[in-house]
Structure 1
């Protein structure tokens, strides 16, 4: 018998609700990073859709680099200083949760799949605000990686 799994839209709306509750939506910048081979652009677009389900304006942007100064100058600062009120920018790209860039984001999401999970980088997983299992992209699951 097949098990029920939430649709991508439901999972992403739940994650967006978590972000809204934890850090708010006043010019909030979020990072989406993940294992090699994962479609981070798709995850970012789905997360934007999750925010829109809650009535929050959001947009996605591909990170042009992993250099903190460039990310700050080209994406973070312009988004935070142009415009007022609610808004979320979801930046996606490999390496965004590296030690040099982690402080740029108010909240972050690490995406991984079952294959290669044993080889995941513990430091990145710990740095992420949340972990998303995208082994089945149509039915991603929020992982609760607590220590208990």
Structure 2
């Protein structure tokens, strides 16, 4: 029996709605990190489309490095100080949820695949605002990661 799975666009629109409800959209900067081999650029693009479905202007940017000072100077500060009002920047790259960089993001997403089950308790995963299982990129799933 085939199992139902949400479409990519529905998942990202739902996650964008969650971000809007939790942190708002006034120059919010979102960090997207994940396991090696995950397509963080695709996830960031999906989130941008999700925000746009909610009528919120958004754009994605690849992190130039995982160095906190460089991220702050080259990505976060220019976005927050340029323009006013609604706008979301989705920054993607590996190492963005490392201990030093975590404080740069108003909200964050950890992306993983089924074959990374042993990594599921990594401290970066615990630091994320949400977790996305992208085992099937066309049908990603929000992982609630509860202990029930």
* Distance of 2:7 and 2:16 partners within structure 1: 14
Offset at residue 121 of structure 1 (A): 5.0
Counterpart secondary structure, 1:19: helix
* Distance of 2:39 and 2:28 partners within structure 1: 22
Counterpart secondary structure, 2:131: strand
* Distance of 1:80 and 1:54 partners within structure 2: 21
Q: Deviations over 1:76-100 (max 9, x none)?
A: 0000000000000000000000001
Say whether residues 1:132 and 2:139 are aligned partners: no
Larger mean CA deviation between 7-16 and 113-122 belongs to 113-122
Say whether residues 1:122 and 2:122 are aligned partners: yes
The within-5 A match list for 1:33-44 is 33-44=33-44
Q: Deviations over 1:111-143 (max 9, x none)?
A: 000002213452011100000000100000000
- TM norm structure 1: 0.98
Aligned length: 148
Unmatched 5+ stretches in structure 1: none
Offset at residue 146 of structure 1 (A): 2.2
Paired position in structure 1 for 2:28: 28
* Distance of 1:71 and 1:116 partners within structure 2: 27
Paired position in structure 2 for 1:95: 95
Say whether residues 1:85 and 2:85 are aligned partners: yes
Counterpart secondary structure, 2:66: coil
Name the Cα RMSD after superposition: 0.8
